[in-house]
Amino acid sequence: MSEAVLKVEAVETYYGKIAALKGISFEVTGTQIVTLLGSNGAGKSTTLKTISGITPAQAGKITFMGEDITKMAAHEIVQRGLIHIPEGRRIFKDLTVTENLELGSFILKDDAERKRRIQSVFDRFPILGKRHKQMGGTLSGGEQQMLAIGRGLMAAPKLLLLDEPSMGLAPLIVAEISRIIKALNEEGTPILLVEQNSKMALGLADYGYVLDTGNIVLDGPGAELKNDEKVIKAYLGGGEH
C-alpha cells in the first residue's frame, strides 16, 4: 500500500456556529485521482479550503506528505507543494496570460526556472502561448480554466486540489479539461477533484467519497460508484451534474 500523500482525520470546520464539515476522514494515496462528490452545500469546496488553509479546521488533523499542516497558514501550505485551484477560476482578469502565470510562481527565486515553467505551460496549452499578451478577462471560459490550471502548475505541485474545473463549460471543453486532468495525473501528480459533474469525475477517479451535509456518507472505487444507480439518484442528481 502506498503512503498517503494527504490524510484528513475527523476534521470539523464551522462558519460561525454552523458546522460545514462534521468530522470527515479520507485520504489520497500514491498518485491517485480522488474525487469528492455531492450536491450544492454538501461541503465539497469547504473541504478543499480547509485543506489549503483558507478556512481553518476547528478540530481534527490534516497531514500532507507526512507533515501536520492543520494549523499552517495558506502560504506555508503552498510552499510545501499543495496547490489549490479554486472554483470559478479566479484568474486576474486585468493581467496578461504571462503575468497570471508569473504570479503562480511567486515563491520561486530563480528567473530561468520561472521562464522554463512558463514555456512548459505553453507547451501543454498552446492556445495560452498564442494569447500570452492578452488580458485574462478576454479569454473564453475554457481558456481561463486552462490558465487557472497552468498557474497552479507554475508552483510544481506535489498535490493538486481542483474545485469544479468543468463548471459552466461546453461539453467539448469539459472533455478537453478531463483529458488534461488525466494527463497530469499520468505524469505523476496526485489530484483531489471536486466536481458536480459526477459522470466526468467518476470516469477519472481511482476512488470517490460522497459528501452530504458535511458528512461522508459513502465511498468506494470510482468505477463502482459510477455504476451504482442508487448512489447517483440519492446523492448525485442523475449523474451529469
Contacts with 178 (C-beta within 8 Å, 6 or more apart), sequence order: 166, 200, 203, 204
> Cell numbers 496570460 correspond to what residue?
97
Residue-level pLDDT at 229: 78
Cα gap 168→6, rounded to integer Å: 29
Residue type, 157: P
Domain range for 207 is: 4-235
Contacts with 187 (C-beta within 8 Å, 6 or more apart), sequence order: none
Residue 10 included in any domain: yes
Residue-level pLDDT at 54: 95
Q: Are 99 and 133 in contact (CB under 8 A)?
A: no
H or E stretch covering 189: none
Residue-level pLDDT at 88: 75
The grid cell for 226 is: 459510477
Summarised one tens digit per residue, pLDDT across range 174-187 is 999 999 999 999 99
Q: Where are the alpha helices (DSSP H) in 72-140?
A: 74-79, 97-103, 111-124, 126-130
Burial 6-19 (b: 16+ CB within 10 A, else e): bbbbebbbbeeeeb
Summarised one tens digit per residue, pLDDT across range 148-170 is 999 999 999 999 999 999 988 88
Residue 240 included in any domain: no
Residue 241 included in any domain: no
Burial 64-91 (b: 16+ CB within 10 A, else e): beeeebbebeeeebbeebbbbbbbebeb
List, in sequence order, every beta strand (DSSP E) within the chain.
4-15, 18-29, 33-37, 59-64, 67-68, 82-85, 159-163, 191-194, 207-212, 215-221
Model confidence at 240, pLDDT cuts 50, 70, 90, reads very low
Tell me what the mean pLDDT of segment 2-29 comes to: 95
Q: Could you give the number of structural domains in the chain?
A: 1
String of DSSP letters for 129-155: HHTTTSBGGGS-HHHHHHHHHHHHHTT
Residue 144 included in any domain: yes
Judge whether residue 239 has pLDDT over 60: no
Cα gap 152→62, rounded to integer Å: 21
Judge whether residue 10 has pLDDT over 80: yes
H or E stretch covering 196: none
H or E stretch covering 110: none
| Long-range pairs of 65-71 with CB within 8 A, sequence gap ≥ 24 | 65/5, 65/158, 66/3
Backbone φ and ψ for 162, nearest 5 degrees, come out as -115, 120
Query: The CATH number of the domain where 45 resides is what?
Result: 3.40.50.300
Judge whether residue 241 has pLDDT over 50: no
Residue-level pLDDT at 237: 62
Judge whether residue 85 has pLDDT over 50: yes
Residue 174 included in any domain: yes
Model confidence at 79, pLDDT cuts 50, 70, 90, reads very high
Q: Are 145 and 162 in contact (CB under 8 A)?
A: no
Which pTM value belongs to this model? 0.92
